[in-house]
Chains A and B, each alone.
Chain A
Amino acid sequence: MSAGKPNMGRKLSRKSSYVFENGQIPGYVHMIRQASRTSSMVSRTTDPEPRESYGSPRVSRLWKETRQPRTPATPEPPDVDERTPLLLGKTPKKPDTRSDEEAKAESVLADLRKELEMDSHKISLDELYTRLETNPENGLSNRQAELHQSKYGMNLLTPPKETPEWIKFARNLLGGFAILMWIGAFLCFAAFAVQNATKPDAPKDYLYLGIVLASVVLISGLFSYYQEAKSSRIMDSFKKLVPQHAQVIREGSQLSVCVTELAVGDVVELTYGDRIPADIRLIESFGLKVDNSALTGESEAVARSAECTHDNPLETKNLVFFSTSAIEGTGKGIVVNVGDKTLMGRIAGLASRLESSQTPIAREMDHFVHIISSVAIFFGVLFFIISVAMGYSWLDSAVFLIGIIVANVPEGLLATVTVCLALTAKRMASKNCLVKHLEAVETLGSVSVICSDKTGTLTQNKMSMSRMWYNGKMHAVERPDDPDNEGLSKIIVGDPEFMALATVARLCSRAHFKVGQVGIPDALREVVGDATESAILKRMETLLGNVEQYRFRNKKVCEIPFNSTNKYQASVHCNKSDCGSHFLLAMKGAPEKIIEQCSTILINGETKELDEQCKAEFKAAYEELGARGERVIGFCDYRLPPEEFPEGHLFNTENPEFMSFTFRFVGLISLIDPPRVNVPNAVRTCRSAGIKVVMVTGDHPLTAKAIARQVGIISPGNKTLDELAATQGVPVSDLDPSQVKVAVIHGSELIDMDEEELDAIIRNFDELVFARTSPQQKLQIVEGFQRQGTCVAVTGDGVNDSPALKKADIGISMGITGSDVSKEAADMILLDDNFASIVTGVEEGRLIFDNLKKCVFYTLTDNISELTPFFLFILARIPLPLGTISILCIDLGTDVVPAVSLAYEKGESDIMRRSPRNPLKDNLVTKQLISYAYGQIGMIESFAGMLTYFVIMSENGFLPLKLLGLRSQWDAQQINDLEDSFGQEWTYEQRKRLENTCSAAYFVSIVVCQWANLIISKTRRVSIFKKGMTNWVLNFALIFETALACVLIYTPGMDVALKMMPLRVHWWLPALPFAILIFVYDEIRRLIIRKFPGSWVEEEFYY
């Protein structure tokens, strides 16, 4: 796959999408049909035959009734005028105000949103050869191949254009608070320049401060850039660039060509095990079967042949698609599409062109930055005006502005948030959720809808035997204790009825174990053969053992292979019996075909006449299994009479004489791709967490519904409209649709819906299953949910899921089975492919949101205590109580580790029993949080700091009243003899030392108050005595914070470097009563919130 990861974060720019070379789209690809109205992946009415060989009763009665009569599906003639984009509901040809390039990109996107339309599979082969200037024997000439390569492009997927690194870096330098900080730094430099110009020996304070501010922005920008780059590197580990080759006939000889060099018109030979190198029209097929699951989500391999069987390119048998794989057989075909024009290329292109929306946490952070910046600008401008009006000089006013900006901006917070997210990402990675970019960590916590793919996510993506019906009873093969299997009989190995069925199942099969697998558990042994036979073989091996040996003993002497007209497969085996027969005929196939061949049935060890009652029982069982979406196979056997078939009889396969007999029916076996073991639990957890789980699959509605029931996406008691109608015996039209809460929507129904109808469905039904959906429809569904304001997670592994993955608020791909394209499009990767891991993700996401809230509260609180000194400095004209450098020491020093430690807090209550947060109401930063942090706790801290300030000033000679209005003299350098309250006279430097000491003490008081603040931040509702102090990282942070404060003020030389002065021990004390006050005050607040839910206090002060 491509070499880069699309930058999917909120930083994804419009410019990152690139222009599709529209002119190069081959003429025979008409991507112009209106919303592919007729082409669902499978259109029931036009499906001439069931997809699978044995003919499961897919076309069930139940399903039929749900369908509205609709116009027969005939392809509409390509009509350019009818072109309407599938989803946006707006015409692509708007009056063009934008640049051509943008408009072009948009129309490409609109094109990609439509479904594939082509005719290369419909036209005659000769026509195709002419069109592609090729012929089936000799292939292309080398020159032609080159020509076609330059005409149609190389067989490569264009990697999504990456944002240049310097732009990413620049964004980090200008995002968030950076602009404000730059303004601050600029003001510093300006202040220095002005001072420098007026005085020869101007103090360099502002120069230093400016440099510090600029470095802070640079360093935090570098830090977030590094974090971003680090998470985008995760993807590199997934890129396995194995060069692949394809067998091509060129100039009459067969050669092996690198896949990328494949040209349109090349004749390619396909063998089982190959990955299909391009979109190919088959001209020959020898039992070729392909696994289309990457494109369609269907787990079954489908047979492909040279005939055009369907107008829809996805349904016709003569097309195989790029990136799918050949499972069985061989074939030969002509390359009709390469690179970006292949089906897979189109989907990948669609995915990479979609802009994923901003993550919820990014929205929250933006909201928060917006608020804080507004506050900073408001106060800054207000005080600038006030100070100018009060007669301060412009320079002074600018200096105040710097102080206010620095005090207001939580410099360290964005980095802290990044660290918190990174920590959670790491924790999630250890729980098998790999997050591709940090912001996605929280997204999962906000998710209110999960659209899950079925195959490979909810299910194991492998067929396995589910039930056996023999002896007139239904038997559960696995997990007999499962509630789903209630009332079923257990299999008893050795029962003659079971053995008869097992014998046929073992013998009539072409699947076999790969050789050389000794000592590997049966379940893990690799099998050659189709999924159905493999599943039966494995199960038989587990139940009875030694299938190979048994087959060896009962040698196959004759075989009628399966074909789609007969829909059965039969084989004759040497098997001596008591009654003298030498041969046993074993036959399996579509149940209705098998039963037609039978006249007897094995019941209770006896062969009985197959009467009407038996037939009714059979029919009931068959329908029951069919309704479960399972694939059902019928089995029968027959002892060939020894008279006609003596030992050593030679059978004629061409015209088998034994087919004239009627056989004995032995039973049915049903198979299904079973749900993963812990998925039902995970779905239950999601539901209790208020998350709607919706299945969106490319698979059949019945299978989808059955799996949905098994995993709990449809709850046990709930019925769909048609099920309800069936039980009540009334037609569907008589029922009120609002009665039911469950709906299974077929992809072909979606095609006819407009946005409002889809929205209505999404709103009205609690339990939804979407089946037979195309990639574009998956996208449509995701967008439908997003229109409801919900935060949507999409899980999927196939290429077909990738547009939806990209569009979703959080796309979750599978680490093991996931295709590269889906991983590329996803935000998160489940390393163990297990849906249940999502629950962990949700939990971590919700926890981190709560903890980030605490973290923000903790950090914002001291903003106000940093701001108060400036207010008093300007308004009361007292000497500055807290210097700018000290503010930075708090914001970037002592506050950081405690804030990060809050990320380690455990949840307060069971966060998985809460509804997902409402993105409109439950913000990260609410007015309650601001009111409580700024208005209350922050104010207490301010008072603590001011008390400390007054204490130190008083103890050194300046009593509080003396300080009022003293500022201008205090700060005047030429006054070398400022008198204090005791008549002492202070030089400028002595005053500044005192001022710096006060600043250090104010800093210490904030640290002391932040002890209490950190402890109260641990909990928003429960008492701290209940919560406990078991977060050792936080406890360490308390000590670390204090130690750091000591280092900052007591290290020699800090008086010069940071203007910090050593403090007397008792100068730590004045803040203590306020710290205790904070603790007690918050305990009381939480007590009131707990005791009086819904009270005014909760409304106003619960953040």
Chain B
Amino acid sequence: MPKGKGDEGGFMKFLWNSDTGEFLGRTGSSWGKIIVFYIIFFAGLAAFFLLMLYIFFLTLDLQKPKWQMTNGLIGDNPGVGFRPQPDQDKNVDSTLIWFDRNRKENYEFWSKQLDEWFNEIPKEGGSDVTKCSFGAGGTDTYKDKNKKREQIASCFVDNKQFGECNPENKFGYRLGEPCILVKLNRIYAWEPIGFGLNGKQYNQANFPEIFSNELKELEKDIENNPQQGMKPMPLFLQEYIKKEVETQDHNPQWKTDFLNSVFISCEGENPADKENIGPISYYPHPYIPSYYFPFTNQRGYQSPFVMVQLKKPMPGVLINVECRAWARNINHNRPDRLGMVHFEIMID
């Protein structure tokens, strides 16, 4: 690459040399030849690349990821997601839900996201979904791993069960009592391991001991990993689990399935936030039922979720909210945002 230095106009001459008819140091035919060569070269190289890619794709099953859970990089510790999300175009990296309950066009930005989410949920009675329940065995197929994706229907998510969190109510945004959709990240073939079970069926005699041991273990983990931002299970959740398990209405299979669910809790992050956040309601209940797991890319699979409604949040202040998913095989890691999610709410 000759450079026009030294003599003046050297670069101009390099650009276009009228004596030899050279443009950028080459004549027309020279350019022609080299361009044709490179077209052929790149065509050949691209073909080689595509051939290699094709050969590679022959080794791939397009139904499921080749490397699942810890074999792959996604791991076996799901993250937690929330909706609605702030406008990415306006503010990258923001997790602040900030709305004015008095301005329709303002809060509708947030409620619309949940609207859309609701609309995407397959309607009951479709061929892709069935209604599932704990201990009913109604979808005895959902855990059959040998079945192909086409043969498995997903469990139905009923959008009628979310109480005040409904489109008509603008998901509470109108009233300054916003609903936040909290869901667990899908990881292929991942299943929660429940508390109080030791991996077995529910046993009434063992349950309290196992459960309290597990909670103690959790506290030990918290001490050992101070960086991860782990916290003990909130008391309300402990009470809720114990209460449900102790209810006599449910059979042991129900209780096993219940305990194998993923529990969800949301809290103010700091003491001040805890004060400002006010009471919280979970719709339909503070857990994601176990029958939604594992995710195996089923037809019509809809991510199950919990609606978290802040009943009386303090307006005009920024509230840090942290939602955590609870299962024996979910580790909380604040820096990596695993098993938990953080967002802020501000209501004007």
Residues of A within 8 A of B (CB): 199, 367, 370-371, 374, 393, 927, 930-931, 935-936, 939-940, 943, 946-947, 950-951, 954-957, 959-960, 968-969, 972-977, 979-980, 982-990, 993-994, 997, 1061, 1070, 1073-1074, 1077, 1096, 1100
Contact = CB atoms under 8 A, between A and B. Distances in A.
Contact of B336 (A950, A951, A972, A987): A987
B52 A976 contact: no
24 contacts: A374-B3, A935-B41, A939-B42, A947-B49, A947-B52, A947-B53, A950-B56, A955-B60, A956-B72, A956-B73, A969-B88, A972-B88, A976-B341, A977-B79, A979-B186, A982-B297, A984-B295, A985-B78, A986-B79, A987-B337, A987-B338, A989-B337, A994-B74, A1100-B34
Interface string B1-42: 111010000000000000000000100000001100110011
A997 B188 contact: no
B185 interface: yes
Interface stretch (B92-100, B101-109, B161-169): B92-100
Interface string B47-70: 011001100110010101111000
B279 interface: no
A603 B230 CA distance: 121
Contact of A985 (B60, B81, B86, B297): B81
A920 to B, nearest CB: 10
A1074 B42 CA distance: 14
A1077 B48 contact: yes
A840 to B, nearest CB: 34
Contact of A1096 (B3, B33, B38, B95): B33
B80 A927 contact: no
A987 B93 contact: no
A374 B42 CA distance: 25
Nearest to A936: B41
B79 A990 contact: yes
B93 A972 contact: yes
Contacts of B1: 371, 374, 927, 930
Given A977-B183, A982-B188, A1070 B52 contact: yes
Main secondary structure of the interface of A (DSSP, over half): helix
B25 A927 contact: yes
A475 B231 CA distance: 110
- Give me the 7 closest cross-chain CB pairs, A-B, nearest first: A977-B81, A987-B79, A985-B185, A989-B336, A955-B66, A957-B65, A994-B73
Given A943-B48, A984-B187, A955 B72 contact: yes
B45 A984 contact: no
Nearest to A925: B1
User: Which among B5, B60, B95, B186 has the greatest number of chain A C-beta atoms within 10 A?
Assistant: B186
User: Which among A954, A972, A983 has the greatest number of chain B C-beta atoms within 10 A?
Assistant: A983
A1066 to B, nearest CB: 9
Nearest to A943: B49
Interface residues of B, number: 55
Contacts of A956: 65-67, 72-74
Nearest to B186: A985
User: Which among A199, A974, A975 has the greatest number of chain B C-beta atoms within 10 A?
Assistant: A974
B301 interface: yes
A976 B49 contact: no
A898 B246 CA distance: 71
A955 B38 contact: no
A1063 to B, nearest CB: 11
A930 B56 CA distance: 32
A960 B75 CA distance: 21
Contacts of B276: none
Contacts of B183: 977
B243 to A, nearest CB: 31
Contacts of A367: 3
Contact of B74 (A374, A947, A959, A986): A986
A935 B336 contact: no
A653 B114 CA distance: 134
A371 B73 CA distance: 41
A939 B53 CA distance: 16
B4 to A, nearest CB: 11
Given A955-B66, A984-B65, A370 B185 contact: no
B26 to A, nearest CB: 9
B85 interface: yes
A1077 B51 CA distance: 13
Contacts of A986: 74, 79, 185
Contacts of A939: 41-42, 45
Interface in B178-211: 183, 185-188
Nearest to B41: A936
A976 B41 contact: no
A956 B64 CA distance: 10
A963 to B, nearest CB: 13
Contacts of B66: 954-956
A947 B49 CA distance: 7
B73 A997 contact: yes
Given A972-B92, A972-B93, A977-B80, 16 more contacts: A370-B5, A927-B1, A935-B38, A935-B41, A947-B49, A950-B53, A957-B188, A973-B93, A974-B88, A974-B92, A976-B185, A984-B65, A985-B187, A989-B337, A990-B79, A993-B73
Contacts of A983: 186, 188, 295, 297, 301
A974 B94 contact: yes
Contacts of B38: 935
Nearest to A995: B73
Contacts of B34: 931, 1100
A932 B81 CA distance: 49
Contacts of B62: 959
A934 to B, nearest CB: 11
Nearest to B188: A984
Contacts of B303: 985
User: Which among A935, A969, A986 has the greatest number of chain B C-beta atoms within 10 A?
Assistant: A986
Contacts of B45: 939-940, 943
Contacts of B188: 957, 982-984
A196 to B, nearest CB: 13
A367 B341 CA distance: 55
A988 B337 contact: yes
A994 B67 CA distance: 12
Contacts of A946: 49
A638 to B, nearest CB: 75
Contacts of A935: 38, 41
A990 B42 contact: no
B85 to A, nearest CB: 7
Contacts of B46: 943
Contacts of B185: 976-977, 984-987
User: Which among B25, B67, B335 has the greatest number of chain A C-beta atoms within 10 A?
Assistant: B67
B347 to A, nearest CB: 19
B186 A370 contact: no
Contact of A982 (B33, B48, B65, B85): B65
A384 B34 CA distance: 28
A185 to B, nearest CB: 24
A974 B25 contact: no
B38 to A, nearest CB: 6
A954 B60 contact: yes
A987 B77 CA distance: 10
Nearest to A930: B1
A390 B195 CA distance: 50
Nearest to B65: A957
Given A972-B92, A974-B95, A1077-B48, A984 B75 contact: no
Nearest to A927: B1
B192 to A, nearest CB: 15
A453 B78 CA distance: 82
A975 B185 CA distance: 11
A990 B74 contact: yes
A935 B40 CA distance: 12
B229 to A, nearest CB: 12
Nearest to A973: B93
Contact of B65 (A199, A955, A1100): A955
Contacts of A1070: 52, 56
